[in-house]
Amino acid sequence: MLAAVESPAACAPRTTQAAGTKVLSEDFGNLADSPGWVRINRSIPLGAPWCQGDPDIFPAQAGPPGAYAVASCLSAAHGVGRVDNWLITPTLTLSGPTTLSFFTSRERVDGFDDLLEVRYGSGSGTAAASFDTLLASIGGAVDFPAQWQPWHLDLTVDGTGRFAFRHLGDAARLSHVGLDTVRVVTRLPEPTSRLLLADGLGVLGLLRRQESH
């Protein structure tokens, strides 16, 4: 069950770090060997999938210079065509308030309209239609950040699911975009919620004791 998703307009960077149980931590030291991650390139004509970062274009947000994931105009063959390139997290088991955090950047060249969608889909499927919840659109009509910028997306979800990062647009209008330091954290309900739950269980116990007399 999914509820209370932040709208893309509310996806402003913030500096606070969510506290709770970390269910995913990925720094892309080796994208090809990152367990459970799926790369699906639906670009036409087909080009390169999401790849290991290139420090000659720009360095990683943290760690070794090439330790990030990158997608580019070359997702469509020879940089000509329509880009629709997906990077999908492993299947995660989530329970309650959840924060997805990550960093994005792009090549420091003006005149491009890079767009990165961040989506959520319940279950373990990887079909495009499975990711029917749009959490954020980064870039497009608004300039994509040209230096590493943090993002934090909040949602409340119970069950299994995956997050997807989708680079898309006319290849002629795209440069290189990077993704780094992906974290997913789940948090316990607020103390008032736990207190209400405890009170409810106490009343239920009292009623059961009264019924037994």
CATH code matching the domain that covers 20-187, chosen among 3.40.50.10190, 2.60.120.200, 3.40.50.11540, 3.10.20.520: 2.60.120.200
Q: What's the confidence (pLDDT) of residue 67?
A: 98
Q: What's the confidence (pLDDT) of residue 186?
A: 94
Its sign, for the CA torsion 186, 187, 188, 193, is negative
Mean pLDDT of 150-179: 96
**pLDDT-derived band of residue 4, with 50, 70 and 90 as boundaries?**
very low
The one-letter amino acid code at 46 reads L
What b-and-e string marks burial along 122-155, b requiring 16 or more CB atoms within 10 Å of the CB? Answer: beeebeeebbebebbbbbeeeebbbebebbbbbb
Q: Distance between CA atoms of 142 and 114, rounded to whole angstroms?
A: 9
Q: Distance between CA atoms of 41 and 83, rounded to whole angstroms?
A: 8
Mean pLDDT of 184-193: 72
Q: Per residue in 9-28, pLDDT tens? A: 344 444 344 468 999 999 99
Candidates 89, 81, 113; CA nearest to 28 is: 89
Rg of the Cα atoms in the chain: 20
Joined tokens for residue 81: 């065509």
Q: Per residue in 29-58, pLDDT tens? A: 999 999 999 999 999 999 999 999 999 999
Q: pTM (2 decimals)? A: 0.82
Q: Where are the domains of the chain?
A: 20-187
